[in-house]
């Protein structure tokens, strides 16, 4: 292994186990070549990774030819290299395996109903179907599949891919979409229905990277071409998802056994992980909250002094609250990319309403005689605001900031979906791996941080709120 690190490479992965493993293998290959590589884990779906690659926020990530040809650059698979080149992107040769979409059922259910092919589902309109959320929207997903086979089921529900297997086992759904290299197919004794109309294209696993990536980094990535068989990928998935090994360890063992690469895998303790996630989470909440206070308090003062304009202002900031948090995060990606910036921007917008509303309400609730007394003393308008009105409204203003802080602590967990880190990272990973310990590793500290934020503002109230108002 080379000792000098010659270039930094950012490798992204999608929010499912196989993508994380392959990206981890690629990152370890880069490090073996003496290249500083960072694996940015579980950044979301295909579109998010693709846009991040084009924007230069990541340098490479694993994808599939079917996804590229169907979703990102529509057209025939043979012409993919040329279409990618026009966007400044290079595609590797196949990594050696195909991970195609399929539809699966419990073997017992399929045998009882006599279902062997996807077309057999037409005879069972009563069956409840559940598909991964991405599959529900893809061009090669549920709407096109239903049209191609003339399926009568109209109420298929969206569900997280990893949770769908548990829903199958529990009988909550009868069929779902599978990846052909999923270890759960064998573990849950599922049958893959024959795609008798050949609807699904081939999904050869490949690596994508930016055309301007340094030659040594490209050379490290190309070492993976044709080196992973479907059986090996299934086994790697099984190690992580069923036997709860880490992606880093599974990747290292694969490289040692197949490419003679022996790298060091650092095992981070739970306390160290929680500490790191706490720092990330506090940063997201603190930066967004401080920015919101700087803007929202003046806006609340304006809303109190000009009631008509205030109504429009409150309606505007209230409109932001109606946007689902995940949608707002996605809206921010084209403007700010992935990572902490879009998460902070979204949290900032969500913080505005409680602070603006409570500031305006606190100022509007001051008794007129108090204002008149301050004016009779000859205090200028600015002095009245600073010395009388804001102190009188401070309990309400502080309550609004406290509410925004507690809301932000919870909402910030979604930032992990776009690479912002924080407590959402172990929660998402825990859901993906069905690991309750990891879920609690994020959920419990998040709850404690929310309580700590609430307690902090109670203490601040003892300092900021005038004693007479506290009594």
Does domain 101-192 fall under CATH 3.40.630.10? My reply is no
b/e per residue, 173-190, with b = 16+ CB within 10 A? bbbbbbbbbbbbbeeeeb
CA–CA separation, 300 vs 248, rounded Å? 50
Domain range list for the chain: 8-96+203-258, 101-192, 270-470
pTM: 0.82
The encoded tokens of residue 128 equal 């409840």
Residue with tokens 């490209």: 218
Dihedral (CA of 52, 55, 61, 67) sign: positive
Helix (H) or strand (E) holding 64: strand 60-64
CA–CA separation, 139 vs 151, rounded Å? 16
CA–CA separation, 259 vs 232, rounded Å? 13
* Nearest in space to 446 (alpha carbons), one of 391, 408, 392, 397: 408
Residue 1's pLDDT band (boundaries 50, 70, 90)? Answer: very low
For 148-209, give the DSSP string: HHT------EEE-HHHHHHHHHHTS-SBEEEETT-THHHHTTEEEPB-TT--S---BEEEEE
Measured from the Cβ of residue 464, the count of other Cβ atoms closer than 10 Å reads: 15
The encoded tokens of residue 124 equal 């069972």
- What top-level class would CATH report for the domain 8-96+203-258? alpha beta
Tens digits of residue pLDDT in 15-28? 889 999 999 999 99
Helix (H) or strand (E) holding 38: strand 36-40
Residue 7's pLDDT band (boundaries 50, 70, 90)? Answer: low
pLDDT of amino acid 309: 87
CA–CA separation, 182 vs 132, rounded Å? 14
Give Cα 410 distance to the centre of its chain.
14
CA–CA separation, 224 vs 29, rounded Å? 8
CA–CA separation, 118 vs 151, rounded Å? 9
Angle at the Cα of 8 from the Cα atoms of 35 and 421, rounded to 5 degrees: 120
Number of H helices, E strands in the chain: 22, 10
The encoded tokens of residue 92 equal 């590797």
Residue 4's pLDDT band (boundaries 50, 70, 90)? Answer: very low
Whether residue 383 is predicted with pLDDT greater than 90 in this model: the reply is: no
Tens digits of residue pLDDT in 32-53? 999 999 999 998 888 899 999 9
Residue 412's pLDDT band (boundaries 50, 70, 90)? Answer: very high
Residue 269's pLDDT band (boundaries 50, 70, 90)? Answer: confident
Q: Considering the chain, what percentage of its residues have pLDDT values greater than 70?
A: 97
Residue 3's pLDDT band (boundaries 50, 70, 90)? Answer: very low
Among 84-98, 275-289, 365-379, whose mean pLDDT is lowest? 365-379
The encoded tokens of residue 366 equal 């001051």
pLDDT of amino acid 388: 83
Does domain 270-470 fall under CATH 3.20.20.370? My reply is no
For 92-150, give the DSSP string: PPP-S-B--EEEEEEHHHHHHHT--BGGGGGG-TT--BEEEHHHHHSTTSHHHHHHHHT
b/e per residue, 11-38, with b = 16+ CB within 10 A? bbbbbbbbbbbbbbbbbbbbbbbebebe
The encoded tokens of residue 347 equal 């949290």
Dihedral (CA of 275, 277, 278, 284) sign: positive
pLDDT of amino acid 160: 84
Asked, colleague to colleague, whether 8-96+203-258 and 270-470 share their fold, the answer is: no
Residue 384's pLDDT band (boundaries 50, 70, 90)? Answer: confident
Tens digits of residue pLDDT in 416-437? 988 899 999 999 888 888 788 9
Query: Cβ contacts of residue 86 below 8 Å, gap of 6+?
Result: none
Tens digits of residue pLDDT in 190-241? 999 999 999 998 899 999 999 999 999 999 999 999 999 999 999 999 999 9
* Nearest in space to 238 (alpha carbons), one of 13, 17, 14, 16: 17
pLDDT of amino acid 419: 86
Residues 291 and 350 sit within 8 Å (Cβ to Cβ): no
Mean pLDDT of 111-129: 95
More confidently predicted of 3 and 276: 276
Whether residue 471 is predicted with pLDDT greater than 70 in this model: the reply is: no
Among 82-91, 140-149, 255-264, 345-354, whose mean pLDDT is lowest? 255-264
Work out the mean pLDDT of the chain and round it to a whole number: 90
Whether residue 387 is predicted with pLDDT greater than 90 in this model: the reply is: no
Whether residue 187 is predicted with pLDDT greater than 80 in this model: the reply is: yes
Residues 429 and 435 sit within 8 Å (Cβ to Cβ): yes
Mean pLDDT of 90-117: 95
Mean pLDDT of 6-17: 85
Bridge partners for 175 per DSSP = 129
For 241-283, give the DSSP string: HTS---HHHHHHHHHHHHT----------HHHHHHHHHHHHHH
């Amino acid at each position: 292994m080379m000792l000098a690190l010659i270039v930094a490479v950012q490798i992204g992965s999608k929010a499912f186990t196989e993508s994380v493993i392959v990206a981890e293998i690629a990152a370890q290959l880069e490090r073996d070549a003496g290249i500083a590589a960072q694996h940015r884990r579980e950044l979301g779906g295909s579109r998010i990774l693709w846009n991040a690659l084009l924007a230069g926020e990541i340098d490479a990530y694993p994808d599939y030819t079917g996804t590229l040809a169907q979703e990102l650059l529509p057209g025939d698979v043979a012409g993919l290299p040329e279409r990618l080149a026009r966007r400044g992107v290079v595609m590797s040769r196949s990594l050696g395996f195909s991970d195609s979409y399929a539809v699966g059922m419990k073997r017992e259910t399929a045998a009882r109903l006599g279902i062997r092919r996807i077309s057999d589902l037409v005879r069972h309109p009563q069956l409840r179907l559940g598909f991964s959320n991405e599959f529900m929207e893809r061009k090669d997903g549920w709407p096109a599949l239903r049209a191609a086979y003339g399926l009568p089921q109209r109420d298929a529900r969206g569900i997280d891919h990893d949770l769908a297997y548990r829903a199958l086992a529990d009988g909550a759904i009868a069929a779902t979409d599978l990846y052909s290299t999923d270890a759960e197919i064998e573990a849950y004794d599922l049958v893959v229905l024959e795609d008798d109309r050949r609807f699904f294209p081939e999904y050869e696993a490949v690596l994508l990277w930016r055309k301007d990536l340094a030659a040594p980094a490209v050379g490290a990535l190309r070492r993976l071409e044709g080196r992973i068989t479907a059986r090996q990928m299934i086994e790697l998935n099984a190690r992580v998802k069923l036997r709860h090994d880490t992606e880093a360890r599974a990747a290292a063992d694969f490289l040692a056994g197949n490419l003679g690469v022996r790298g060091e895998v650092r095992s981070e303790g739970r306390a160290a992980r929680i500490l790191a996630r706490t720092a990330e989470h506090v940063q997201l909440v603190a930066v967004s909250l401080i920015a919101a206070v700087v803007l929202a308090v003046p806006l609340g003062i304006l809303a109190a002094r000009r009631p008509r304009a205030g109504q429009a202002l409150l309606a505007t900031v209230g409109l932001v609250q109606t946007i689902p948090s995940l949608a707002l995060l996605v809206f921010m990606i084209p403007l700010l990319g992935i990572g902490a910036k879009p998460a902070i921007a979204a949290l900032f917008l969500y913080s505005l309403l409680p602070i603006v509303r409570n500031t305006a309400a606190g100022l509007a609730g001051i008794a007129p005689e108090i204002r008149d007394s301050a004016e009779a003393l000859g205090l200028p308008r600015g002095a009245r605001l600073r010395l009388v009105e804001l102190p009188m409204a401070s309990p309400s203003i502080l309550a609004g900031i406290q509410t925004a802080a507690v809301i932000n602590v919870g909402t910030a967990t979604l930032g992990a979906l776009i690479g912002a880190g924080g407590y959402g990272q172990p929660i998402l990973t825990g859901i993906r791996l069905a690991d309750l310990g990891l879920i609690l590793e994020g959920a419990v500290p998040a709850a404690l941080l929310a309580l700590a934020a609430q307690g902090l503002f109670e203490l601040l109230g003892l300092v900021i709120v005038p004693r007479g108002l506290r009594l």
